Amino acid sequence: MTLSETAYAKINLALHVRRRREDGYHELETLFAFVDDGDRLTAKFADEDKITVSGEFAGALDNPFDNILAHTLTKFPRGEGWHVHLEKNLPVAAGLGGGSADAGALIRMIAAEQSVPSDVMQRAATLGADVPACVWSEMKIGTGTGTDLAKVQNDLKGTPVLLVNPRQPVPTGPVFKAWGELGGGKDRGPLPTGTARQIATDGRNDLETPAIAICPAIADVLAAMRDTAPWLARMSGSGATCFALYDDPAARDGAAQTIAASHPDWWQMSGAIR
Q: How far apart are CA 155 and CA 273, in angstroms?
A: 10
Instruction: Tell me what the mean pLDDT of segment 95-100 comes to.
Output: 95
Arithmetic mean of pLDDT over the chain:
95
Indicate whether 140 pLDDT > 80: yes
Q: How far apart are CA 107 and CA 8, in angstroms?
A: 13
> Could you give the domains of the chain?
2-150 (3.30.230.10), 160-272 (3.30.70.890)
pLDDT for 102-137, tens place per residue? 999 999 999 999 988 999 999 999 999 999 999 999
pLDDT for 150-205, tens place per residue? 999 999 999 999 999 999 999 999 999 899 887 667 889 999 999 999 999 999 99
pLDDT for 220-255, tens place per residue? 999 999 999 999 999 999 999 999 999 999 999 999
Q: What is the DSSP string of the chain?
A: -EEEEEEEEEEEEEEEEEEE-TTS-EEEEEEEEEEEEEEEEEEEEESS-EEEEESTTGGG-S-GGGSHHHHHHHHS--SSEEEEEEE--SPSSSSS-HHHHHHHHHHHHHHHHSPPPTTHHHHHHHH-TTHHHHHHT--EEEEETTTEEE----TTTT-EEEEEE-S----HHHHHHHHHHHSTT----PPP-SSHHHHHHH--BTTHHHHHHH-THHHHHHHHHHTT--SEEEE-TTSS-EEEE-SSHHHHHHHHHHHHHH-TTSEEEEEEB-
Which of 37, 39, 102, 130 is flagged as catalytic? Answer: 130
**Tell me, what's the pLDDT at 182?**
76
Q: What is the DSSP string of 69-88?
A: HHHHHHHS--SSEEEEEEE-
Q: How far apart are CA 147 and CA 133, in angstroms?
A: 7
Which of 10, 75, 88, 140 is flagged as catalytic? Answer: 10
Q: What is the pTM of this model?
A: 0.95
Catalytic annotation present for 148 = no
Catalytic annotation present for 37 = no
